[in-house]
Chain A
Amino acid sequence: MAGSLKTEAVVLRSIRYGEGDRVLHLYTPHRGRVGAIAKGARKARSRFGGRLEPFFHLRLILYEGRGDLLTVTSAETVAAHPRLREDRAALDSAARACDAVARLFETDDPNPQVFHLLRNQLALLDRAPACAGRANQLAFRLKLLVAAGLAPHLDACASCGERDHLSGFSGAAGGVVCGACEASAFPLDADAHEFLVEALGRPLADAPAATDRALRQAERAIGETLEHHAHVRWRPAA
């Protein structure tokens, strides 16, 4: 169905294409992941300027023809995030956040929650570049798991329901497990467990701090949940 689509979007990736064009991977609130081509975007006199670079939050008009790729006909900036672009760690963190979204949400199924999370994460990295790092990235990824319906069980043993002696994490079981159910699990320290609970409960901007060891365990818990239930792998969080 040909027509034009007006949407907000975050640019996840921008790939050079042909002589002067760009192919964009976009994440939108109501159309999920969308691919689009911006003709002439690499020419110095392009009316798009530099606003089709990754991490721009845009208001777009896209023309939808019969092909897979939509065509960008107009682009207006909602947020350019200039400060995160000046900070090495924040830029790296923004790239990992966009990559995590691209890998887990590959289709055009709408998921406005994912869009809002990504928008908030980029806004946070722009407002406070110093918060970039593993704890922030893991908190963001946990929230993505929730948006995908893959939230890990953290309040009781994911296998038997036992509420005490929770000492491991099992991706297969989908959460923390007790000493008796530990067979397919790896050990999860109390502070790593607490990090997962707190990171899920708090806003992104207040991601809890934790030791390197706890963060490594939390990252493993998140990674195994994702692999078991979505068959997707994320790149290291930092």
Chain B
Amino acid sequence: MQAPPIQRLVTELGKLPGIGSRTAQRLAFHILRQSDEEAFALSDAIREVKSRIGLCEVCFNLAEGPRCRICLDERRDTALICVVEEPQDVIPIERTHEFRGRYHVLGGALSPIDGVDPEDIKLAELYARVEEGGIREVVLATNPTTTGEATALHVAEELRRRTPDVTVTRLASGLPVGADLEYADEVTLGKALSGRRAL
């Protein structure tokens, strides 16, 4: 049996995703061996991120202060909104440098199985943003998973009804670069075929 403070640290580390009890044990002993400075840097970083980072009041991306850096950036196209499931989905889209509009982070995807209904994610806020006017296009960039597709279909239907003049688009789907055709599933390959382009 180990001292209660060590047990507490092991328990807390074990709650992190992908960390089993043995890894938690190893991490705890690693932290114990560290200098005070190193160990406190970790605890301070956790404390700081939790106290300083919240959600942007416009797009619900992570933000330090009331608005995120993208919503504050005057050079971004305000008539274009890209809808994603989670804050971490903003990062890969930003890395493409292809998108110059703003975002709307839903905070999840619709899933009747998991009990996630329209009122559980930031959909009302999205509709309010679009209805306010000045929006030309909404790009639906939810994941190409079953729940992501269900969410995209739901949003598209609702926006067509509420704001028929706004263009609603969905990320194209098809074969990932570097994949083998022989392993492609029938849904992906079907979409890749129907979305083919002339060369």
Q: A: which residues have CB within 8 A of B? A: 12-14, 18-19, 44-51, 53-56, 77, 80, 82, 85-88, 91-92, 95-96, 98-99, 102, 235
Contacts and interface: CB of A to CB of B under 8 A. Distances in A.
Contacts of B144: 50
B7 interface: no
Contact of A91 (B115, B153, B185): B153
Interface of A is mostly: loop
Interface of B: 17-18, 111-113, 115, 144-146, 149-150, 153-154, 157, 176-180, 183-188, 190
B157 A77 contact: no
A91 B150 contact: yes
A16 B100 CA distance: 30
Contacts, number: 77
B185 A80 contact: yes
A87 B113 contact: no
B18 A18 contact: yes
Contacts of B185: 48-51, 56, 77, 80
A12 B157 CA distance: 25
A82 B113 contact: no
Contacts of A54: 113, 146
Nearest to A44: B176
Given A85-B149, A92-B150, A99-B112, A50 B18 contact: no
Contacts of B18: 18-19
A95 B184 contact: no
Given A88-B157, A98-B113, A99-B112, A48 B150 contact: no
A92 B112 contact: yes
B76 to A, nearest CB: 28
A91 B149 CA distance: 9
Contacts of A55: 146
Nearest to A88: B153
Contact of A85 (B17, B146, B183): B146
